[in-house]
Structure 1
Amino acid sequence: MFPKPRADLKPNTYEFETQPLVSPSGFREYDARWLYPEQINLNGVQALGLGLGTLFHEMGVRPAVAVGQDYRSYSVSIKQALIIGLMRAGCEVHDIGLALSPVAYFSQFALDVPCVAMVTASHNENGWTGVKMGAQRPLTFGPDEMGRVKEIVLSGAFKEREGGKYIQVTDMAERYIADLTNRPKITRKLRVVAACGNGTAGHFAPRVLEGIGVEVIPLDCTLDYTFPHYNPNPEDMEMLHALRDKVLSEGADVGLGFDGDGDRCGVVDNTGEEIFADKVGVMLARDLSSRFPNAQFVVDVKSTGLFLTDPVLIANGAKTDYWKTGHSYIKRRAHELNALVGFEKSGHYFFNPPIGRGYDDGLVSAIAICDMLDRNPGKKMSELREALPKTWGSPTMSPFCPDEVKYEVVERMVKLFTDMKAKGETMLGQKIRDLVTVNGVRVVLEDGTWGLVRASSNKPGLVVVVESPTSEANMRGMFAEVDKRLSANPEVGEYDQKI
């Protein structure tokens, strides 16, 4: 019988080498993330696989699962331990090898298997590992399923079964690339910088973009799990600045940056201007709603208010639903509403048929951007950006806050702003017009200036975003108003970046 996991094991001890270590904090809202080996050891990963396989059986799905791993020095070891656990639970494991998260999602369709377990820490810094899981393509687990996995694993309620099977799949990367490039070529001559931060996307992005007919200028596409230049995260200003510099030096039409597991895409235009992913979403929504009138979109609460106020979207009859931040939430909501696309400010885009299969894929997003430019041959990326109504927005900012208290801190902020609104108190000399509390709290003032505070779903921290449709001063003022109230909580620490 597999032993019940513990959270108090110390490295370089007999117990650490023979018992499973699993920190409860690693089970997050829609995937799992741990520091390795401080918070989870290989026996703990095996426990995770056994618990995940137990849940697959409990859910009544066929226990066949596609498993892949990202390019980190320890990811193969993590994957192998996970596979052992899955097989002990009686699962048929299809090992697709080195992959992007969207390659793993694609393999569910290509192999006709219902389940997926992708070993990746996405954009988290080295030292992190994790697993993205699902049992109903194209969806991934949400809080209910993650809560049940956590319960099974931490309580040791495993059910070992006979029938575990291992199948190695050696050609999934080629099948995925062929699937994306088996289409008409781009007719416009485009020069595109592809920045991959030395992460897994470096093996895929240049080949896919070349395959659709664009000229690719690679930037940090050599795989290197030390991430020597910057963390592969297209929300990180360091990566965006490197992309900007390359676009300007090469005179490229656009720069596209991909995160560590390739499910997100960041954009820099031909002038070197970094375009936040929610604004790129508005540009794509404009383009797509002209082809698909009355299209339904879903966006997360971190995203710009332009999805509701943009005159082109209004004229095209587009409808937009604001929903919880998180790839699992937006993916599920877009599926429920049969939305054409779901957009997240983080750069996760979910294209449903006829464009995509419903899962987040940074390369499908990149293709959509190239197609948009191809359909506007007389316009540069900067001109499409400048055609949007002007707003001033911040990057995503994340102050440290321990996992154990971050949701409590957010609840305090919800109560604080709710009380302020009820009392008619003002910020920037304006009353609070609206509060959106579907995910944290988004405070909207009378002129449309807004600020968001929510808990990070994948690391110990909070998320702060602000935007103003009236002035940069109001955007910065809104941040100051939010920050002074948030920083009054003693559990809140330093930001990763600030405006």
Structure 2
Amino acid sequence: MFPTPKPFLKPNTYEFESSPMVKATGFREYDARWLFPDEINLMGVQALGMGLGTLIHELGIRPEIVVGHDFRSYSASIKIALANGLMAAGIKVRDIGLALSPMAYFAQFELDCPCVAMVTASHNDNGWTGVKMGVQRPMTFGPEEMTRLKEIVLAAAFKLPGGGAYSFEENFPERYLAKLLDRPKITRKLKVVAACGNGTAGAFAPEALERLGCEVIPLDAELDHTFPKYNPNPEDMQMLHAIRDAVLEHGADVGLGFDGDGDRCGVVDNEGDEIFADKVGVMLARDLSAIHPNAQFVVDVKSTGLFMTDPVLIAQGAKTDYWKTGHSYIKRRVNELNALVGFEKSGHYFFNKPIGYGYDDGLISALAICDMLDRNPDKSMADLKRALPKTWGSPTMSPHCADDVKYDVVAETTATFERMHAEGEPVAGQKIVDIVTVNGVRVTCEDGTWGLVRASSNKPELVVVIESPVSEARLHEMFKAVDGILRRRSEVGAYNQTI
């Protein structure tokens, strides 16, 4: 009988090395994230594997799974512990080794394998680990599956029939790259900065772009799990500024930044200006809806309102559905609506057939951006950006808020805005005309300026985003109003970045 996991064990003790530890808050809305070894130990990871294997059998899914790991000092050991637990639960494990998350998703199709468990903390700081899981390609777990997995693991309600197996898929990344680049090269001579933040994408992204036909300037592409320069996060202004400097130094046509597990891509234009991912999404939607008229898109509630108001998208018959933030939610919605692409402000893009398989892949996003430039040989990235209607938008801003209170704070904030709307009380000096509560609360004023507050799905943080189609001053007024409401709760801490 495997022991029931404990929420805390003191490190460097007999109990820590001989009992599983799993903190309950690590089970999040659509993936799992823990500080290692503060919130989970290796026996706890083994329990997670047994729980996942038990759930796979419970769901009646063929017991075969792809596993891979990102480039952190402890990720390989966590993957081995996870695989041990899966095999104890009777699962056939197919290990693709060091990989990007989209490689693991691709392996589900390439190896005809229904399940996936990718060991990665994505762009989180060092010390974090996690697992992205799914049993129905290309989807990953949502709240229902994560809740059931949590119940199984924390109660040690494992079913361990044995009969598991292990195999290693040799040189799998080359199979992925060969499939990705089984297409014509671009004809335009593009000089591209490929920034990888010393994360896993450094082993693959520069090569992929070179094979596409680009002249590539690698930036921080050497693998280094200490992340010595900055966290590999293309929403982080420090990474974007490093890309800007390299673009200007080398006279590049575009700068592309990849996150820690390669499922997101950030963009800096040829003039050194960062373009937030939702605006890049509008540019790509314009480009793709010209080829695929009346295309359906899905975007998250953090994204710009231009998807609904842009005259080019309207003229090309494009339709857009705003949905919950989170790679699992957007992925499912893209599949439900058979959308051409799903876009998240965080930089997760989900290209469906005929472009991709419906999962998020930073390299496919990079190739799509290069294709867009190739189809517009007389225009620069900055030209394409300037062609969009002007709006003023914030980066994604995240004030600290503990996991056990953040949803209460969002609920209280939502109730406040709903009361203000019902009573005709203005926010930032303007009447509220719309409130969307599909994921947190997005409140829009009569001049189109809007603000969003939601709980982060994978960190002890809130998420705040502001946009105004009117002026930078209105952007700041809306942020001050939203932040003022949040400051009524003492649990809301400092922002990671602000405007």
Give the TM-score normalised by structure 1: 1.00
**Residue 207 of structure 1, CA deviation:** 0.8
Cα shift at 1:206: 0.6
Q: SS where residue 426 of structure 1 aligns?
A: coil
Aligned to 1:21: 21
The residue aligned with 2:495 is 495
- Report matched runs for 1:233-382 at 5 Å: 233-382=233-382
Task: Name the counterpart of 1:147.
Answer: 147
What is the CA-CA distance between 1:8 and the residue it aligns to? 2.2
Please say if 1:164 is aligned against 2:170: no
CA distance, structure 2, for counterparts of residue 230 and residue 8 of structure 1: 30
Q: Sequence identity of aligned pairs in percent?
A: 74
Displacement, 1:327?
0.2
Q: Is 1:203 matched with 2:203?
A: yes
Distance 2:428 2:78 in 1: 50
SS at match of 2:409: helix
Deviation at 1:170, TM superposition (A): 1.3
Deviation at 1:376, TM superposition (A): 0.3
Could you list the per-position Cα deviations for residues 306-349 of structure 1 after superposition, in whole angstroms to 9, with x for gaps in the alignment? 00000000000000000000000000001000000000000000
Which range is displaced more, 177-186 or 446-455?
A: 177-186
CA distance in 2, matches of 1:273, 1:441: 29
Give 1:454's aligned residue: 454
Deviation at 1:357, TM superposition (A): 0.4
Structure 1 residue 295: Cα displacement: 0.4
Match of 2:479, SS state, is helix
Matched, 1:175 2:175: yes
Show the counterpart of 2:88: 88
- Decide whether the 8 Å contact of 2:230 with 2:238 is kept in 1: yes
Q: Which residue of 2 aligns with 1:47?
A: 47
Query: Contact between 2:390 and 2:469, CA under 8 Å: does it hold in 1?
Result: yes
Counterpart Cα distance in 2 of 1:88 and 1:167: 15
1:332-375: CA deviation from partner (whole Å, max 9, x where unpaired): 00100000000000000000000000000000000000000000
Where 1:162 maps in the other structure, the secondary structure is coil
Moved more, 171-180 or 24-33: 171-180
AA aligned to 2:244 is R
Answering whether residue 400 of structure 2 is matched by residue 404 of structure 1, we say: no
Contact 2:8 2:39 in 1 (8 A): no
Matching residue of 1:122: 122
Residues 116-170 of structure 1: CA distance to partner in whole angstroms, max 9, x if unpaired?
0000000000000000000000000000001111010001110001210000111
Letter paired with 1:339: A
What secondary structure, in the 3-state scheme, does the structure 2 residue paired with 1:427 have? coil
Q: Distance in 1 between matches of 2:344 and 2:215?
A: 28
Calculate the aligned-residue CA RMSD, in Å: 0.5
Structure 1 equivalent of residue 386 of structure 2:
386
The residue identity in structure 1 corresponding to 2:459 is K
| Alpha-carbon separation, structure 2, partners of 1:118 and 1:165 | 18
Distance in 2 separating the partners of 1:11 and 1:152: 24
Counterpart residue number, 1:469? 469
- Distance in 1, Cα, partners of 2:292 & 2:277: 21
Q: CA deviation at 1:399?
A: 0.2
TM-superposed deviation, 1:432: 0.3
Rounded Cα–Cα distance in structure 2 between residues aligned with 1:105 and 1:212: 21
Consecutive unaligned residues in structure 1, runs of 5 or more: none
Equivalent residue number for residue 106 of structure 1:
106
Per the alignment, residue 432 of structure 2 pairs with 432
Aligned to 1:64: 64
The answer (yes or no) to whether the contact 2:196–2:202 under 8 Å persists in 1 is yes
In structure 1, what is the Cα distance between the partners aligned to 2:13 and 2:193?
48
What SS does the aligned partner of 2:227 have?
coil
Aligned to 1:76: 76
Which digits, 9 at most, give the CA deviation of each residue in 1:418-451, with x for residues without a partner? 0000000012321100000000000100010000
- Provide TM-score, normalisation by structure 2: 1.00
Secondary structure at the aligned position of 1:233 is classed as coil
Q: Report the equivalent of 1:480.
A: 480
Where structure 2 has 5 or more consecutive residues not aligned to the other structure, the ranges are none
CA offsets, 1:80-99, max 9 Å, x none? 00000000000000011000
1:229 maps to 2:229 = yes
